[in-house]
């Protein structure tokens, strides 16, 4: 340690320093206890009051004390740092006893059921747009948005006046055509009788037969026109093609002038639902080998609850999406309570059975840059960080595929209290006890 850092050095220096200062300031003792002798500054003798000089002397001593304290302070950290370095080394050498007794355990291995989860879109088995097939004023709105309707129920009606008139006109033309046909038939019968008696020529009979056929064709044409007008009239009445739920009305109101083909609303049959989701190629290949594994799918709704009924895969699309590397699947769910609606979202839970899977608690794992590690406790309580690979995630548990053996002991708690290479005091906790607390029955 340098000489100038010693307290004794500065005490000696201070003593030698104070005397010249006394002389410099002219502070010398006098026989009179109340006065100090002050040497003549110009000529003659002068005296000064002791109280005044005590104030100056006190300031001088205070400055010296502060200077000395700063020297002691600069000396103290050096000693403290040296002492702290010794304590840290001691703690490290003794195995980190400051962490206390920590719990360790081992993995377990057993058959495990877990679920792959996929984001899904829910669509109704039947979902159509209802459009006006005729032009006209909207005369009646007989339902409301969200109303459940039955097949054949009248929903909307377009003003039918023009179409009724068209029907009447077509019917009149039909009656006229039928009369013309009857007239042609009578003429044909007369000419045929005359032709049989050789009174008229065969050509006249042929002409009468042609007129009769023409009249009959006109009747057929008039009948078709009546049917067409009746169809136009029926199109003014929009009925439900199947039972379902009426959707939101488009920009229509009672009295709106509708164009042909204008959308009115939608109709949805949600008694059965299709749920679409994308799976990676590995899952698709596993499904191709074991399609029965996809016969008990579950659906998690947006509120976290499971849908009451299970579904199954009923269709797979023809090609993969090269961008995502996935292929769309379609599962079918029965929806008797009509809880599911078209356009809803959820998560498909696909059950996967793992034979003799290795399980560890999630709380024993920590992450660094998207990698997962555990602290393995080896001989003499020495901890070592080890990377592991996670195959699946369960409630409070991980399924480990690589990085850990069944006989490995790993740290269960206090992961932030230790670092790689520390020596700890630990207490072994049986896996059965650990995993039962996490809700898993350890076999």
**Residue 294 burial class via C-beta count within 10 angstroms: exposed 0-12, middle 13-18, buried 19 and up:** buried
Bridge partners (DSSP) of residue 110 are 357
Indicate the residue among 317, 337, 353 that finishes a domain.
353
Total structural domains in the chain? 4
Please give the Cα distance from 99 to 93 (Å, whole number).
14
Q: Do 424 and 409 form a contact (C-beta atoms < 8 A)?
A: no
Q: Is 320 helix (H, G, I), strand (E, B) or coil?
A: coil
The answer to the question of residue 120 being in a domain is no
Q: What is the phi/psi pair of residue 397, to 5°?
A: -135, 155
The answer to the question of residue 442 being in a domain is no
Q: Is 173 helix (H, G, I), strand (E, B) or coil?
A: helix
Measured at the alpha carbon of residue 204, what is the angle toward residues 201 and 208, in degrees to the nearest 5? Answer: 145
pLDDT of residue 375: 96
pLDDT of residue 64: 55
The answer to the question of residue 130 being in a domain is no
Q: Do 442 and 118 form a contact (C-beta atoms < 8 A)?
A: no
Contacts of 333 (CB under 8 A, 6+ apart): 272, 273, 275, 299, 307, 309, 310, 311, 340
The answer to the question of residue 314 being in a domain is yes
Indicate the residue among 258, 282, 302 that finishes a domain.
258
The answer to the question of residue 122 being in a domain is no
pLDDT of residue 165: 92
- CB atoms closer than 10 angstroms to residue 132: 21
| 202 and 241 housed in the same domain | yes
* Calculated CA dihedral for residues 280, 286, 288, 289, nearest 10 degrees: 170
Indicate the residue among 207, 227, 258 that finishes a domain.
258
DSSP labels for 30-47?
-SSTTEEEE--SSSS-EE
Closest CA to 107 of 390, 308, 423: 390
CATH of the domain at 319: 2.40.30.170
| 169 and 274 housed in the same domain | no
| 143 and 246 housed in the same domain | yes
pLDDT of residue 395: 84
The answer to the question of residue 117 being in a domain is no
The answer to the question of residue 172 being in a domain is yes
Contacts of 223 (CB under 8 A, 6+ apart): 174
| 139 and 166 housed in the same domain | yes
Q: Do 381 and 424 form a contact (C-beta atoms < 8 A)?
A: yes
Please give the Cα distance from 435 to 441 (Å, whole number).
7
pLDDT of residue 290: 86
pLDDT of residue 437: 85
pLDDT of residue 410: 95
DSSP labels for 123-170?
EEEEEEEEE-SS-EEEEEE---TT-EE-TT-EEEEE--HHHHHHHHHH
Please give the Cα distance from 31 to 55 (Å, whole number).
20
pLDDT of residue 48: 41
CATH of the domain at 240: 1.10.287.470
- Per DSSP (E only), the strands in 132-249 are 136-141, 148-149, 154-158, 237-239, 244-246
Domain containing 426 equals 97-109+356-437
pLDDT of residue 441: 57
Q: Do 275 and 348 form a contact (C-beta atoms < 8 A)?
A: yes
pLDDT of residue 440: 66
Q: What is the pLDDT along the chain (443 residues), one digit of tens a residue?
A: 444 445 454 445 545 544 444 444 444 444 344 444 434 333 434 344 444 444 455 555 555 555 545 544 444 333 333 333 333 333 333 444 456 899 999 999 999 888 899 999 999 999 999 999 999 999 999 999 999 999 999 999 999 888 899 999 999 999 999 999 999 999 989 988 888 888 888 898 899 999 999 999 999 999 999 999 999 999 999 999 999 999 999 888 898 889 999 999 999 999 999 999 999 999 999 999 988 878 899 999 999 999 999 999 999 999 999 999 999 999 999 999 999 999 999 999 999 888 899 999 999 999 998 899 999 999 889 999 999 999 888 888 999 999 999 999 999 988 999 999 999 999 999 988 888 888 665 55
| 278 and 237 housed in the same domain | no
The answer to the question of residue 115 being in a domain is no
CATH of the domain at 414: 2.40.420.20
Q: What is the phi/psi pair of residue 416, to 5°?
A: -85, -5
| 241 and 320 housed in the same domain | no
pLDDT of residue 201: 87
Q: Do 156 and 238 form a contact (C-beta atoms < 8 A)?
A: yes
Bridge partners (DSSP) of residue 322 are none
């Amino acid at each position: 340690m340098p000489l100038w850092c010693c307290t004794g050095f500065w005490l000696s220096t201070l003593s030698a320093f104070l005397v010249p200062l006394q002389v410099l300031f002219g502070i010398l003792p006098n026989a009179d206890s109340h006065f100090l002798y002050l040497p003549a500054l110009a000529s003659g003798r002068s005296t000064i009051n002791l109280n005044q000089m005590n104030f100056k002397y006190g300031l001088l001593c205070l400055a010296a004390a502060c200077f000395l304290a700063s020297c002691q302070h600069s000396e103290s950290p050096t000693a403290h740092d040296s002492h702290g370095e010794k304590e840290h080394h001691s703690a490290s050498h003794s195995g980190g006893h400051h962490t206390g007794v920590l719990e360790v355990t081992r993995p377990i291995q057993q058959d495990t059921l877990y679920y792959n989860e996929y984001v899904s879109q829910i669509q109704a088995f039947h979902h159509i747009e209802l459009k006006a097939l005729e032009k006209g004023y909207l005369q009646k709105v007989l339902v409301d948005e969200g109303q459940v309707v039955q097949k054949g129920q009248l929903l909307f009606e377009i003003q039918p006046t023009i179409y009724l008139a068209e029907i009447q006109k077509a019917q009149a033309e039909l009656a006229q055509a039928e009369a013309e046909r009857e007239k042609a038939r009578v003429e044909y019968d007369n000419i045929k009788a005359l032709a049989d008696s050789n009174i008229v020529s065969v050509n006249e009979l042929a002409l009468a037969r042609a007129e009769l056929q023409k009249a009959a064709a006109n009747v057929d044409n008039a009948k078709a026109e009546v049917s067409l007008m009746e169809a136009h009239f029926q199109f003014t009445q929009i009925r439900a093609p199947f039972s379902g739920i009426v959707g939101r009305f488009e920009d229509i109101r009672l009295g709106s002038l509708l164009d042909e083909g204008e959308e009115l609303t939608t109709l949805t049959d949600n008694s059965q639902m299709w749920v679409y989701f994308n799976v990676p190629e590995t899952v698709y290949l596993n499904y191709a080998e074991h399609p029965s594994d996809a016969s008990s799918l579950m659906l998690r709704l947006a509120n976290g609850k499971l849908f009451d009924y299970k579904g199954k895969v009923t269709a797979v699309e023809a090609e993969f999406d090269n961008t995502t590397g996935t292929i769309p699947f379609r599962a079918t769910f029965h929806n008797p309570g009509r809880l599911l609606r078209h356009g809803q979202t959820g998560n498909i839970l696909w059950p996967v059975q793992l034979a003799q899977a290795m399980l560890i608690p999630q709380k024993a794992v920590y992450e660094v840059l998207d990698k997962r590690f555990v602290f393995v406790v080896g001989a003499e309580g020495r901890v070592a960080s080890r990377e592991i690979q996670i195959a699946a995630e369960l409630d409070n548990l991980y399924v480990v595929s690589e990085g850990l053996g069944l006989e490995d002991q790993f740290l269960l708690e206090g992961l932030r209290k230790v670092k790689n290479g520390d020596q700890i005091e630990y207490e072994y906790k049986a896996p059965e006890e650990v995993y039962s607390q996490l809700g898993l029955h350890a076999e």
